[in-house]
Chains A and B, each alone.
Chain A
């Protein structure tokens, strides 16, 4: 499905601020894999996400989807296969447009955008049905401006918009980190059920250790631009937060340093 082969990325090359974000990172995702990603500050987690989605291009190495090298495609060209939810609840939706207009934009993923109406009666019915899955009453507010929604509501909408066209890859970039605990829990539950129901191949960055262990079937740990640990499903089941932190210290020789770490 998704293959990352020897991907490297350097920031500010040749200056005093030169920083290696990724060094020969390798990862193969099988269809239906739900991988959680943890790691210390500057480990390269966000860079990995940006390189998969096409926001950045790798200096070396390849990103492949279904065997096809997509390293040189732009972000909007790749979005046909890749859905993404950002950390910032404001980032995934257009605030001055209505809920149904936002959904219409998401609905057109992978299609050419021409002069047919974005919101039709048929599409509105689909939108209502999809919004009901969220269970937060947005299906009754189709015409409301998204800017009027709360952070949690906007993130739930972003999640729906990123997934309801069934992208081949779903990228979740700390998408619950900016929410209060109750809302974060709601989004986590929704994520779990949507990924399970649609059998989406998912990569999720998180700072919440407990969440990283509880969700998904694989867990990877990153440090200094490398993937230093890849925990398969059978071992992940019985993993505890203490074991995970211990494992990190053993491999990298230091404590996991993460400003926003949540042990769960």
Chain B
């Protein structure tokens, strides 16, 4: 039990970078980017193939970051310059990357057994906490710079930020590139951790990322960027803990996990909004009753 908990926290931290990437596109840019399913594998492919060819693992991970940025740039260009619908540009890139990833790996899966590994001789949990916290702080600081502010404003009110002189095409492309760079880095790290890369490992990644974002925001709130990035990281860890528990339930199969993920997201989306509606309705009913009561009183007092 304890071992599986530790494993869950480790995975949570590894996938946290992917969730942060999803947070940037979905929440900050307000751009539903499906490139993620492809770029996660791209990162894993680049990282693995380079490690197998004898390059130091951390340089391989760095190259995965760059590869993800390039993939994101392509999606951004399709959307801004090609004027293709946002969802569709992501889907197009995702499908293109499927072939590209196979080209990079040369076969459907590549093993990292008996290779140099990033997590050799170090505690995965310690190194990942340091790394994820560092990325979080850099992101928090970035979103307070002039460029970061204009990126946030692009997702919040693009008409406004254009009238103040920011090129929203550039900020959009930059945001999607940054997002996919983080996703690809996450993919490369996961490949190092599980010691193999597989061409289908990215399938459903966007949904897992979204689940982490939503779970984190629901539990820890997202009032500021600082709070939101923290929530996303913790959300990713909680998702993995739920996953670990679900695997221990007897009548559930490992393959049911994608269905469970979907159910978690539906709950996380429906419950808060229907609760808000219900609250508003109750409040409106109460206020109306009060108003009616005060009208009655004044008629009684002023009548005849």
Contacts and interface: CB of A to CB of B under 8 A. Distances in A.
A92 B160 contact: yes
Nearest to B148: A118
A11 interface: no
A115 B156 CA distance: 20
Contacts of B149: 97, 101, 104-105, 108, 113, 118
Contacts of B150: 105, 108, 113
Given A75-B163, A94-B156, A94-B160, A114 B147 contact: yes
B156 A96 contact: yes
Interface stretch (A33-41, A76-84, A240-248): A76-84
B162 A91 contact: no
A94 B145 contact: no
A76 B160 contact: no
Contacts of A94: 152-153, 156-157, 160-161
A93 interface: yes
B157 A53 contact: no
B156 A91 contact: no
B145 A118 contact: yes
A66 B106 CA distance: 60
Given A94-B152, A97-B152, A115 B164 contact: no
B163 A53 contact: yes
Contacts of B153: 94, 97, 105
Contacts of A109: 164-165
B166 interface: yes
Contact of A95 (B142, B157, B168): B157
Contacts of A77: 165
B147 A113 contact: yes
Nearest to A53: B163
A165 B162 CA distance: 16
Contacts of B148: 118
**Counting chain B CB atoms within 10 Å of each CB, which of A79, A94, A106, A117 scores highest?**
A94
Contact of A91 (B142, B146, B159): B159
A85 B148 CA distance: 23
Nearest to B147: A113
Interface residues on B, range: 20 to 34
Interface in B122-163: 142, 144-150, 152-153, 156-157, 159-163
Given A84-B163, A95-B157, A101-B149, A117 B144 contact: yes
A202 B146 CA distance: 28
Interface string A59-95: 0000000000000001111011001101000111111
Given A76-B168, A94-B153, A94-B156, A116 B162 contact: no
Nearest to A84: B163
A119 interface: yes
Contacts of B99: none
Contacts of A104: 146, 149
A42 interface: no
A110 interface: yes
A118 B146 contact: yes
A108 B160 contact: no
B166 A113 contact: yes
B238 to A, nearest CB: 24
B163 A115 contact: no
A115 B147 CA distance: 6
B167 interface: yes
B165 A110 contact: yes
B47 to A, nearest CB: 27
A175 B282 CA distance: 36
A79 B147 contact: no
A182 to B, nearest CB: 24
A103 to B, nearest CB: 10
B152 A117 contact: no
A109 B146 CA distance: 11
A77 B163 CA distance: 9
Contacts of A96: 152, 156
9 contacts: A76-B165, A79-B163, A86-B159, A105-B164, A109-B165, A110-B165, A113-B149, A115-B142, A118-B148
Given A105-B161, A114-B145, A118-B149, 11 more contacts: A76-B166, A83-B163, A92-B163, A94-B157, A94-B161, A97-B156, A105-B166, A114-B146, A115-B145, A118-B144, A118-B145
